[in-house]
Amino acid sequence: MMTPTQIALAALAAGNLLLGWAWLSARDDAASARADLVSMQQQRDGARQAAQACSDATEALGALAAQRATDAAPARAAAAGQAAVLNARADYTLATAPAAPGDSCASLKALGSDWLKGRAKP
């Protein structure tokens, strides 16, 4: 039979054992949470760096596009001028009545002849 002192000591030992077990479990949970926090911070920092790199690259592309647009402006203006001349010639050709009605070949020869005369420099 156990004396009341022995029962009290056994109860205290059991309580200490449970308390130690709970403390070890809490310590493991805290260590796991710290590790998870460090991992998440590294992921956040990586995502932040990737976003910054993307933003920097986008700004660089915008600057390059603006520079290329500036560089291409004279060529675009020259092409627009050439297109206007060719469009005017096409409008003239389409509006001109056939020189020889019914004979497309003769009409085209006459139109080509007129065009060549216009190109000749005196």
State the Cα–Cα distance between residues 82 and 64, nearest whole angstrom. Answer: 27
pLDDT of amino acid 121: 66
Q: Block means of pLDDT (10 residues each) for the chain, length 122 residues?
A: 90 93 94 95 96 96 96 95 90 80 84 80 63
CB atoms closer than 10 angstroms to residue 46? 10
Would you list the domain boundaries of the chain?
4-94
CB 106 within 8 A of CB 100: yes
Rounded to two decimals, the pTM is 0.47
Q: How far is CA 17 from CA 4, 14, 27, in A?
A: 20, 5, 15
Which amino acid is present at 57?
A
